[in-house]
Amino acid sequence: MNRKAQGIALRPAEEADLPLILEFIRELADYERLSHEVVADEESLRRHLFGPRPVAEVVLAEVEGEAAGFALFFPNLSTFLGRPGIYLEDLFVRPALRGRGVGQALLSYLARLAVDRGCGRLEWAVLDWNDPAIGFYKSFGARPLEEWRVFRLAGDALREMADRS
């Protein structure tokens, strides 16, 4: 699919894009009903996306010059495959611009990046109530890993576990 014919442009984010990246993160959190969990600010994003040891990357999407969405991702490693992978932390397209191929363009970009980097997989999590996203992902051949559950240590529980060392 020709993205330019659809008016979609993708580009790696630059440090000057930090306000937009944070705006997208807040819009995504609002959509996912998780706004109360957002504590990120431009400085923390600057440090982790553009500092001396960046831990993630961002690609931005525009439709006819209008900011449309973003994908934030980072490398992981499959010990079973013995190869790197890409973990997609966030994928968001503004509601008014959905259905125009932006999400597909972002996923295609990441898939190409994964192939070019010799990765064995591209993975992400989706909220179980987000039927539109689940259907969208399945339409491209992604499959849910029903036998797996995501676990998380954060906040006090993370600090308490760290104190056990």
Quote the tokens at residue 149: 């559950």
d(CA 134, CA 59): 21
Specify the DSSP class assigned to residue 46: H
Quote the tokens at residue 145: 């890993």
Residues 6+ apart with CB under 8 A from 82: none
**CB 98 within 8 Å of CB 106:** no
Known catalytic residue at 137: yes
Active-site residue (options: 31, 87, 109, 137): 137
Catalytic residues: 137
